[in-house]
Chain A
Amino acid sequence: MPDVRDVGALMSVTYDIAARDFVRAGEAANKLKRLLQQLGLDPAVIRRAAIAAYEAEMNIVIHSYGGQIKVDITPESIEIFCEDSGPGIPDIEKALQEGYSTASEEIREMGFGAGMGLPNIQKSADKFRIESAVGRGTCLQVTILHEAGE
């Protein structure tokens, strides 16, 4: 169950993401999307946030030992923080390349493993930061501004 707290202008919600749980995988991103819709945010902003959260959620399910996604909604932006407990990414630059994937055949049969998740997150984000330590885990921070400068 996500924990939703409305602290004045800031709303914060946290989703626990279990590794290898392919039945529930994607639930958090769908819940986040519904929450953002209830808040009446711009559909284009919602779409970018939902896509980034979903790709990040699937990466935690597929590639990690499990983790959390915390989302802060402020008057300026949607901040998505993802954290998992390993195994970490040895070569981040490679992982960010379109088409690079270490996903197994089993994962590919489910429609993942194109090596497009991290690039999709980057494209959806106004700001994007990734940090990873082998053996410890991966952190992702995605910022989506309500008013993208376009």
Chain B
Amino acid sequence: MSSCRTRCLVSESGIRIRDIIDAIEARLLTQPSHMDRLVLSVCGADLMSDVLAFTKAKTLLLTGLTSIQVVRTAGVVDLAGIVFVRGKRPSPEVVELAEAEDLPLLVTDYPLYEACGKLYCLGLKGCSELDPGGRTGECLTSGT
């Protein structure tokens, strides 16, 4: 059993999707250029209202839902990407919309808890740790 070692892959500007792929053995479902996208924090959620209320800019969402609404929600709050856990694959329409919105989609076979745990071990923080006491609507970074 490997323990939780912080490998400190996370720099000031975050971590690349390609390092996320290595850590949770994920597959990228969208265009290869998404490999170099940056992620600053991670959120695991199956409720869209929670995603809206608690994520920050450049947050990667891990979720068990594969509905098109996850992509719409991601667009509203500018998520850095979506990871579908437990090997759940979205429909082609969902992937198509994500491509049109330029949103990286990934799939991993790990369940939600394990995938989150592995990313936490990389040094990636949760949204509340990034901006303690921050209220809804505050933006961590400026510009997009």
Contacts of A43 in B (CB 8 A): 57, 139, 141-144
Give the A-B pair count, Cβ closer than 8 A. Answer: 93
Chain A interface residue count, Cβ-Cβ cutoff 8 angstroms: 29
Contact residues on B (Cβ < 8 Å of other chain), bracket: 20 to 34
Chain B, Cβ-Cβ closest to A61: B69
CB distance from A131 to the nearest CB of B (A): 22
Chain B, Cβ-Cβ closest to A51: B52
Contacts of B51 in A (CB 8 A): 111
Check A50–B76 contact: CB distance below 8 A: yes
Give the distance in Å from the alpha carbon of A99 to the alpha carbon of B14 in the complex. Answer: 33
A interface secondary structure, majority: helix
Give the distance in Å from the alpha carbon of A64 to the alpha carbon of B88 in the complex. Answer: 31
Chain B, Cβ-Cβ closest to A107: B69
From B52, B93, B137, A55 is in contact (CB under 8 Å) with B52
Check B53–A120 contact: CB distance below 8 A: yes
Contacts of A123 in B (CB 8 A): 53, 135-137
Within 8 A of B (CB), among A6-41: 22-23, 25-27, 29-30, 33, 37
Interface set of A (CB-CB < 8 Å, partner B): 22-23, 25-27, 29-30, 33, 37, 43-44, 47-48, 50-51, 54-55, 58, 109-112, 114-117, 120, 123-124
